[in-house]
Amino acid sequence: MDRTEKHEFVASLASVFADTSMVVVTRNSGLNVAEMTELRRRMRAAGATFRVAKNRLTTLALDGTRFDGIKPLLKGPTALAWSHDPVAVAKAAVEFARTNEKFVVLGGAIGAQTLDAAGVKALSELPSLEALRARLLGLIVAPATRIAGILQAPGGQIARVLAAYAREREAA
């Protein structure tokens, strides 16, 4: 990379850090091309981006952003994963780390809060944003369904009483 490409890369990475909500720092020493391709495919499926970047350029891009706390993690062969959905990127990284011992989650940051590897793992165990929305919608709809059932019950009881009374009259 020449100097202008480096400036462009730092600027693009800084804009990514300004726009995203979660960054995960990983160590990827020894991964072959097929494993990296599989990792990138899984990250894309989760709505995340995975990129290997030089630590010095990443440190420059982190200056003045809310993810400034992950600078100490940038030692050795590292890569970054980021997404707007914090749970999705953490889940994708932790699941790949379970299946491949060469890939290690070092930590990350959600907003201004820096997380260690255990924090990223704990975040990955939370339900995704879509699952939380579905649960919330279910909680909102459940009372209305119960109220409709309760309001419908007296009408059904009256109908059964009237039907029993009509059968009794026909029998007599």
The reply to whether 76 and 38 lie within a common domain is yes
Q: Is the predicted pLDDT of residue 41 greater than 90, yes or no?
A: yes
Closest CA to 25 of 61, 96, 77, 60: 77
The reply to whether 70 and 10 lie within a common domain is yes
Backbone angles phi, psi at 49, to 5 degrees: -120, 140
Backbone angles phi, psi at 160, to 5 degrees: -65, -40
Which three-class secondary structure string do you get for 102-153? CCEEEEEEECCEEEEHHHHHHHHCCCCHHHHHHHHHHHHHHHHHHHHHHHHH
**Whole-model pTM?**
0.70
The reply to whether 49 and 77 lie within a common domain is yes
Strands laid side by side in the 49-52 sheet: 49-52, 78-83, 22-27, 104-110, 113-116
The reply to whether 144 and 122 lie within a common domain is no
Q: What is the CATH number of the domain that holds 98?
A: 3.30.70.1730
Tokens of 35: 């494993």
Domain count, the chain: 2
The reply to whether 88 and 55 lie within a common domain is yes
Residues 6+ apart with CB under 8 A from 106: 25, 26, 27, 73, 78, 117
Q: Is the predicted pLDDT of residue 158 greater than 80, yes or no?
A: no
Q: What is the C-alpha to C-alpha distance for residues 80 and 55, in angstroms, rounded to an integer?
A: 10
The reply to whether 57 and 97 lie within a common domain is yes
The reply to whether 32 and 94 lie within a common domain is yes
The reply to whether 52 and 110 lie within a common domain is yes
Q: Is the predicted pLDDT of residue 39 greater than 70, yes or no?
A: yes
Chain centroid to CA 50: 14
> Percent helix, strand, coil in the chain (nearest 5)?
65, 15, 20
The reply to whether 162 and 150 lie within a common domain is yes
The reply to whether 46 and 74 lie within a common domain is yes
The reply to whether 87 and 153 lie within a common domain is no
The reply to whether 122 and 168 lie within a common domain is no
What's residue 127's pLDDT? Answer: 78
Q: pLDDT band for position 117 (50/70/90)?
A: confident
Show the domain range for 165: 127-172
